[in-house]
């Protein structure tokens, strides 16, 4: 009975902390949405030619309306995901008392609610917006489809803007709480992780939901919306694709098929494969990824053959028959993205799972001290970039050769076709992690903690796959948006030898470094505030003795305020960079900026995420030791363990803040450029040209 009462108290504290963060974040978001909607109205309106409306600014208002609607749908889906996670965590803790099967099924089903809710809300919101705006710009009128889809692109801008808050603000919160709780609790006081005496433990558990549920969800919502908008914008310029409603909206059919295939495959985890022991968990989760990809392949072929013309041109004009594409070509573009996504996920898992050689190498070199742990972790991260970039290169080349920029947008949608399954697995991880924390805080027993640790370990590996998937899709989406921007701004070619374009390339390649510096430093600043508060509370001897409860809420409040304050500067860098460069120097310089940011950002994002993930799992590998055939010093409490904890702490802001947040930098700069393309083309003074 005492354990149950404690469980209810802990569950309520995590739930209240998560809601408090979201409410504070949404207040900031509301101000941002209003201000930025006004900016969109001015930028789009001043660059518009009226397009059949009585005044150009009405077009700006419609673009701002699409932006606000996209932001609202993204916020709503993030709220649903967070509520599901905090409702499920304590229930999974209780289910773990009766074995693996019930606990896994509950965590997986809870994750699937979030996965399917987010994708279906995103798709429904976009379709409703198209239907409403179609009343103003009839798609079948002369010039109607391009104007319609240009305005609908604001939906993607809204989704990606919210991802800025989720990824950057949520990432800073998550790691400030985690680093603060670990440094004082585990390192200085020597108490276990998730010990109820640690004042930062509730903030740490709240952070898992804030970063990995709301943050990941808003990031992938943005990718989904932007990939769809990029494909729609390019399709609308094609006389063949815009001639039929089904062909024009084919990108939405790809996503619909993905949701349906993911739904069918979800029954494999809950009704076909059984989870009776720890090794079964990871197998079931990986089966989901394989099954969804395999089922989607023939389904998407049938859709392409049914809805797309046998022969079409993905450009406004086709001077030669060689530029024509077929429905089969479109399918191969989607399939290239779909299978590249799986390849990136598997490559990420190889470099971040403790079952594989690279992570064990990092663990073994922790025996020589802290420095060698850091050196080998960095080397692993740099090396892990190779395979994902080659997969992206192959998918991009295939797609572009077959269907031009429309093919690249379809490849991005193909990679995101299995989004419901990816989000299910991503949401499963923090739910299982929270469940383990609740078991520890409520002292439900060592056997229950063993089960939740196994659930969490599988979640950590699949979370790394999810990060790789998110980065890969962000790169393709960014490239698709870049192509749509070039099409809209009427650039015949992007010439890297032109001085202004080359300068844009250099500045664009620098931005991910400046952005990462800001986010990592922000984590350090916010974590320092947490460390000071936790140390102050530990000075009261009653907390360690167990006679006095810590003030959890104080730590939650500090992490919330510090994270929201620290996200302002990185956010402004991302939003203002394309507006300033495009506004003053024109589309040529801006095209260089976008290309440089994409090429530099994708390498940094993969490297940072995998480095941090490898350090984390190297620490967990040592904590689970000693292992048969391995050095007996690879166990908890040794110098090797202390070195691994250092690596893990250094890697935390890389894998959960700066790495994933670079996705938003790549996509948000590109979608701002696309939505404001008319302004940059027609109004910009173009200094330097």
Q: 476-496 pLDDT, tens per residue?
A: 999 988 988 887 777 777 777
Which residues, including other chains, have CB under 8 Å from residue 70's CB and lie 6 or more apart? 125, 129, 154, 155, 156, 157, 158, 159, 225
pLDDT at site 449: 85
Residues 64 and 33: their CA atoms lie apart, in Å, by 9
pLDDT at site 368: 93
pLDDT at 1 over 60: no
Residues 617 and 655: their CA atoms lie apart, in Å, by 12
Q: Name the more confident of 677 and 321.
A: 677
Residue whose tokens read 């889809």: 149
Which residues, including other chains, have CB under 8 Å from residue 43's CB and lie 6 or more apart? 60, 579, 675, 676, 679
pLDDT at site 540: 79
Which two three-digit tokens encode residue 97? Answer: 């008392």
Cis peptide before 196 (omega within 30 of 0): no
DSSP state of 191: P
Give the lowest-confidence range in 400-414, 511-525, 532-546, 597-611: 532-546
pLDDT at 408 over 80: yes
Which two three-digit tokens encode residue 151? Answer: 């305005």
CA distances to 142, 426, 496 from 685, rounded to whole Å, are 31, 45, 21
Residue whose tokens read 């990939």: 227
pLDDT at site 577: 95
Residue 555 in contact with residue 200, Cβ under 8 Å? yes
Which two three-digit tokens encode residue 62? Answer: 């419609």
Tell me what the mean pLDDT of segment 549-572 comes to: 88
Residues 411 and 339: their CA atoms lie apart, in Å, by 10
pTM: 0.90
pLDDT at site 55: 58
Give the lowest-confidence range in 232-236, 400-404, 537-541: 537-541
Any bridge partners for residue 326, and if so which? 311
pLDDT at 30 over 80: yes
When mean pLDDT is compared over 318-322, 410-414, 632-636, 683-687, the highest value belongs to: 410-414
pLDDT at 254 over 80: yes
pLDDT band at 50 (very low <50, low <70, confident <90, very high): very low
Tell me what the mean pLDDT of segment 644-659 comes to: 89
Residue 145 in contact with residue 248, Cβ under 8 Å? yes
Q: Of 424, 425, 451, 422, whose CA–CA distance to 438 is shortest?
A: 451
pLDDT at 51 over 60: no
pLDDT at 296 over 90: yes
Residues 157 and 171: their CA atoms lie apart, in Å, by 20
Please, what is the average pLDDT of the chain?
87
DSSP state of 326: E
Give the lowest-confidence range in 301-315, 423-437, 488-502: 488-502
Estimate the share of the chain in helix, then strand, then coil, as percent rounded to the nearest 5.
Answer: 85, 0, 15
For the chain, the farthest-separated pair of C-alpha atoms sits apart, in whole angstroms, at 82
Domain boundaries, the chain: 2-312+327-682
Which two three-digit tokens encode residue 129? Answer: 């917006």
Angle between helices 250-267 and 278-307 (to 10 degrees): 150
Which residues, including other chains, have CB under 8 Å from residue 97's CB and lie 6 or more apart? 444, 445, 448
pLDDT at site 2: 57
Tell me what the mean pLDDT of segment 651-662 comes to: 89
pLDDT band at 48 (very low <50, low <70, confident <90, very high): low
pLDDT at site 49: 53
Q: Name the more confident of 474 and 490.
A: 474
């Amino acid at each position: 009975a005492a354990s149950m009462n404690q469980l209810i108290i802990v569950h309520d504290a995590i739930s209240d902390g998560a809601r408090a963060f979201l409410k504070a974040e949404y207040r900031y978001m509301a101000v941002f949405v209003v201000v930025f909607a006004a900016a969109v109205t001015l930028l789009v309106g001043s660059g518009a030619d009226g397009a059949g409306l009585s005044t150009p600014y009405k077009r700006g208002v419609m673009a701002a309306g699409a932006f606000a609607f996209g932001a609202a749908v993204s916020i709503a889906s993030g709220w649903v995901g967070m509520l599901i996670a905090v409702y499920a965590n304590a229930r999974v803790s209780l289910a773990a008392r009766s074995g693996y099967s019930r606990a896994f099924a509950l965590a997986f089903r809870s994750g699937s609610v979030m996965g399917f809710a987010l994708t279906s809300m995103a798709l429904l919101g976009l379709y409703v917006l198209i239907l409403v705006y179609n009343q103003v710009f009839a798609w079948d009128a002369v010039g109607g489809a391009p104007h319609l889809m240009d305005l609908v692109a604001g939906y993607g801008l809204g989704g990606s803007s919210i991802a800025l808050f989720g990824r950057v603000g949520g990432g800073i919160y998550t790691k400030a709480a985690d680093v603060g709780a670990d440094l004082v609790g585990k390192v200085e006081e020597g108490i276990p992780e998730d010990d109820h005496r640690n004042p930062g433990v509730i903030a740490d558990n709240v952070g898992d939901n804030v970063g990995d549920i709301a943050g990941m969800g808003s990031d992938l919502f943005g990718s989904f919306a932007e990939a769809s908008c990029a494909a729609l914008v390019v399709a609308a310029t094609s006389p063949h694709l815009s001639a039929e409603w089904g062909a024009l909206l084919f990108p939405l059919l790809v996503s619909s098929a993905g949701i349906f295939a993911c739904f069918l495959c979800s029954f494999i985890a809950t009704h076909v494969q059984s989870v009776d022991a720890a090794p079964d968990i990871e197998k079931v989760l990986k089966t989901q990824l394989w099954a969804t990809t395999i089922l989607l392949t023939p389904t998407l072929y049938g859709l392409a053959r049914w809805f797309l013309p046998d022969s079409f041109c993905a450009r406004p004009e086709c001077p030669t028959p060689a530029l024509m594409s077929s429905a089969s070509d479109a399918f191969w573009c989607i399939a290239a993205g779909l299978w590249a996504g799986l390849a990136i996920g598997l490559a990420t898992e190889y470099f971040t799972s403790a079952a594989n050689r690279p992570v064990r190498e990092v663990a073994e070199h922790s025996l020589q001290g802290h420095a060698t742990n850091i050196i080998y972790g960095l080397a692993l991260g740099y090396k892990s970039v190779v395979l994902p970039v080659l997969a992206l290169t192959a998918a991009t080349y295939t797609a572009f050769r077959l269907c031009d920029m429309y093919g690249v947008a379809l490849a991005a949608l193909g990679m995101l076709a299995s989004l419901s399954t990816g989000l299910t697995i991503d949401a499963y991880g923090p739910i299982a992690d929270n469940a383990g924390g609740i078991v520890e805080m409520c002292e439900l027993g060592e056997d229950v903690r063993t089960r939740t640790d196994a659930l969490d370990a599988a979640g950590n590996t699949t979370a790394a796959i999810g990060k790789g998937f998110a980065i890969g899709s962000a790169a393709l989406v960014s490239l698709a948006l870049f192509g749509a921007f070039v099409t809209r701004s009427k650039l015949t070619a992007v010439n890297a030898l032109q001085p202004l374009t080359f300068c844009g390339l250099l500045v664009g390649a620098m931005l991910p470094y400046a952005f990462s510096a800001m986010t990592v430093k922000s984590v350090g600043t916010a974590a320092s505030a947490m460390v000071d508060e936790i140390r102050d509370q530990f000075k009261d001897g009653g907390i360690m003795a167990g006679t006095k409860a810590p003030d959890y809420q104080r730590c939650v409040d500090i992490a919330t305020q510090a994270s929201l304050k620290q996200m302002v500067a990185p956010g402004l860098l991302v939003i203002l960079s394309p507006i300033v460069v495009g506004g003053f120097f024109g589309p040529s310089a801006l095209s260089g900026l976008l290309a440089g940011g994409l090429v530099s950002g994708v390498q940094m994002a993969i490297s940072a995420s995998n480095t941090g993930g490898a350090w984390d799992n190297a620490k967990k590998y040592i904590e689970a030791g000693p292992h048969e055939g391995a050095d007996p010093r690879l166990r908890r409490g040794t110098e090797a363990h202390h070195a691994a904890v250092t690596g893990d702490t250094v890697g935390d802001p890389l894998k959960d803040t700066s790495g994933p947040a670079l996705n938003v930098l790549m996509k948000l700069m590109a979608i701002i450029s696309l939505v404001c393309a008319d302004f940059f083309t027609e109004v910009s003074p173009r200094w330097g040209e």
